[in-house]
Amino acid sequence: MHIPFARKYRPRFFGEVVGQETPVRILQNAVKNDRVSHAYLFAGPRGVGKTTLARILAKALNCKNPKDGEPCGECENCREIEKGSFPDLIEMDAASNRGIDDIRSVREAVNYTPIKGKTKVYIIDEAHMLTKEAFNALLKTLEEPPLRTVFILCTTEYEKIIPTILSRCQRIILSRVPDDKIVSYLRMICQRENINCPEEVLKMIAHVSDGCLRDAASLLDQVSVIPDKELDINSAEELLGIISLERVHQFMALLLDSKVDEAIEFLRDIYRRGFNLTRFWEVLEEEVRNLILCKSLKDPKKVLEDTSICEKFKDADLTRLLYLENLISRGRLEARSRPPIRAYELAVIKTILIKEIISIEEALRTSPGRTEKEETIIDKLRHTLSPVAFKALEEAKREERNSETVFILDEETYDAFRSEFEKVKTAFGGGVDFKVIKKKEKMKRSSTSLFGS
Ligand SMILES: Nc1ncnc2c1ncn2[C@@H]1O[C@H](COP(=O)(O)OP(=O)(O)OP(=O)(O)O)[C@@H](O)[C@H]1O
Ligand SMILES: [Mg+2]
Ligand SMILES: [Zn+2]
C-alpha cells in the first residue's frame, strides 16, 4: 500500500527537521542539558513541523539511549512513539475535544506518574480552539505543573492564545520554510523513491506550497504518478492545474517586449487548457512587483527571498515595469466586472505601448553618441514628457543657442507644467532651457529667463 510522502517522510530526529534551525537548537539543547520546560507553545503556519517536533521532543525525553539530545530511534520507547502506541504520550486535538471535561480528565491523569517512560508528554493540537473554561482548567495545571510532565500546545493562531497561558509557556516559533530548503527536501524524497523529477518541477511545487512542507510533499506525491519519461514541467502543470513561475516569466518577457500577438496566444492557451487564470494573473502581478523591488532597492536580498528574477530581467527598465504593473493591476480590478479573460486580454493589448516608452535615463544614455538628425531634442522630449506638456512645448517658440534648445513660454503655461519642465532640464543637463515671459511684458517685447543664462 502506498504511504503518502507527507507521512512517510515525517522527520524522526531533530537533525532531519527542515528549515527550523532555531527551534531545533533550543529544544535539543534543553534535552541535552536537562533544562526542558514544563510547558511549550509551538506556534507557526500549518505543515511546518509543529506536531513533528513535538513528537521528536517526546521521543528524546523518553529514549533509553539518547545521544546529544537526539533520540536513538531504536529502543522500545522510541519505536512505540513512532507507532503511536506509547502510553505516556498523549495527543489531544483541541478542535474536536474542546471541552472542559477533556481537560479535567487530563488534570486527573496528570497526577499519575509515567507508566513506562521517564516523562509524560501531552501534545494539545490546535490549542487556540479550546474553550475558555477548558483554558482556565488547563491554566490551573500549568500553574502547578506535576513532576515529569511536559505540555506542548500547538497552534496556527498564536494571537488567539490568552495571555495568561502565554506567560506560562515557553514560546517556540516555527516559520514558513524558504523555497530552496523545500526543494532540497523534495530532492531527498525523489532520491529515496527513485523519482526522476526535473528541478523546475520541484521549484514550481516549492513556490506554490508557500512554505508548507506538508503541501510540498503531497504535491510531489501527486506528480509522482506521471511516468518518469513524461514527467516534465508541462505535464506537472497540467496535472496540478498550476502554471510554473518559469512560464509566468516567459509571459512577462513577451509583455515587456510588446509582443502582443504571442502574449494573447499564450493567455488563450492556458485558458483553453483550463488553468485558473485569476491565480495566474495574481502570480504575474506578484512577480512584476518583485522585479520592481529588485530594480528600486539597494539590497533586494533583504526583502526578497528569491532574487533570481533580478538576474533574469537585468535589462528591464523601471519606467516600463511601472507602466506594466499599472496595467496588470487595472486588469485585475476589471476582471471583477467582466469575464477575466477579456479583462486580461485588454491589458495585454495595452502593453503594445511599452516599446514606445523611453525612460529619462535611456534618453540621456543615447544622446551623446548620436547625431542630431537621428535623435533630436524634440523626439526625446516627446517620450519623456506627458502628452499635454509636450504639446505645449511643441507649440511654443524656440531658439537654438549653441547646443541648447530654449523654449519660450508664457508664465501660465510654464507654471502649469513647472515640475515636468524642471525635471527635464536637470535630466537633459544643459541641452534644454526655458525662457519665461510675463504676459504683460510680452507687449513690451522684453523677456526674463527664469534660470538666467
Ligand atoms: N520542518 C519540517 N521538516 C521536514 N518535514 C516537514 C517539516 N514540517 C512538516 N513536514 C512534513 O509535513 C508533514 C506534516 O508536518 P506536521 O504535522 O509536523 O505539521 P504541523 O506544523 O503540525 O501542521 P498543522 O498545523 O497542520 O498541524 C510531516 O509529516 C512532514 O512530512
Ligand atoms: Mg500538527
Ligand atoms: Zn530511543
Each residue of 308-355: pLDDT tens digit?
Answer: 888 899 888 888 899 999 999 999 999 999 999 999 999 999 998 887
List pLDDT tens digits, range 217-229.
Answer: 999 999 999 998 8
* 453 falls within a domain: no
Residues 58 and 103 in one domain: yes
Per-range mean pLDDT, top range of 73-77, 312-316, 377-381: 73-77
Residues 31 and 164 in one domain: yes
Residue from 14, 51, 52, 160 to probe ligand 1 pocket by mutation (most atoms less than 8 Å from CB): 52
Tell me the CATH number at 202: 1.10.8.60
pLDDT tops 70 at residue 373: no
pLDDT at residue 230 in the model: 92
Indicate the pTM of the whole model.
Answer: 0.72
User: Which cell numbers hold the place of 294?
Assistant: 529588485
Candidates 132, 130, 133, 177; CA nearest to 151 is: 130
Quickly state the pLDDT bin for 420 (edges 50, 70, 90): confident
* 227 falls within a domain: yes
Residues 143 and 277 in one domain: no
Residues 148 and 191 in one domain: no
Q: How far is the CA of 16 from the centre of ligand 3 (A)?
A: 16
Number of domains forming the structure of the chain: 4
* 452 falls within a domain: no
Measure the CA–CA gap between 410 and 421, rounded to whole angstroms. Answer: 13
Query: pLDDT exceeding 70 applies to what percent of the chain?
Result: 92
Q: Are strands 39-43 and 170-173 parallel, antiparallel or unpaired?
A: parallel
pLDDT tops 50 at residue 128: yes
Residues 271 and 339 in one domain: yes
pLDDT at residue 371 in the model: 45
Q: Which of 173, 189, 206 is the last residue of a domain?
A: 173
Q: Which of 303, 321, 356 is the last residue of a domain?
A: 356
Averaged pLDDT of the chain: 87
Q: Which ligand is nearest to the CA of 49?
A: 1
User: Which cell numbers hold the place of 155?
Assistant: 497552534
Cβ atoms of 154 and 127 closer than 8 Å: yes
Cβ atoms of 120 and 149 closer than 8 Å: yes
Quickly state the pLDDT bin for 93 (edges 50, 70, 90): confident
User: Can you give the residue range of the structural domain that contains 19?
Assistant: 5-173
pLDDT at residue 26 in the model: 98
Torsion of Cα atoms, 446 then 377 then 315 then 420, to 10°: 20
Residues 254 and 336 in one domain: yes
Residues 260 and 291 in one domain: yes
Q: Which of 356, 382, 401 is the last residue of a domain?
A: 356
Least confident of 83-92, 349-358, 364-373, 416-425: 364-373
Residues 333 and 202 in one domain: no
Tell me the CATH number at 69: 3.40.50.300
pLDDT at residue 363 in the model: 66
Residue from 5, 8, 9, 10 to probe ligand 1 pocket by mutation (most atoms less than 8 Å from CB): 10
Q: Please state, as a whole number, how many other Cβ atoms lie within 10 Å of the Cβ of residue 390.
A: 17
Residues with CB under 6 A from ligand 1: 6-7, 9-11, 17-20, 46-52, 125, 156, 185, 213-214, 217
Residues 197 and 158 in one domain: no
* 451 falls within a domain: no
* 51 falls within a domain: yes
Residues 277 and 304 in one domain: yes
pLDDT at residue 291 in the model: 94
Mean pLDDT of 88-114: 79
Residue from 177, 214, 215, 221 to probe ligand 1 pocket by mutation (most atoms less than 8 Å from CB): 214
pLDDT tops 50 at residue 288: yes
The label of the residue with cell 486580454 reads 345
* 450 falls within a domain: no
| Ligand 1 atom index nearest CA of 6 | 31
Q: Who has greater pLDDT, 242 or 174? A: 174
* 449 falls within a domain: no
pLDDT at residue 440 in the model: 59
Contacts within 8 Å (CB) and 24+ apart, 362-366: 362/317, 363/427, 363/428, 364/427, 364/428, 364/429
Neighbours of ion ligand 2 (CB under 5 A): 50-51
Measure the CA–CA gap between 151 and 109, rounded to whole angstroms. Answer: 13
Residues 249 and 231 in one domain: no
Q: How far is the CA of 10 from the centre of ligand 1 (A)?
A: 7
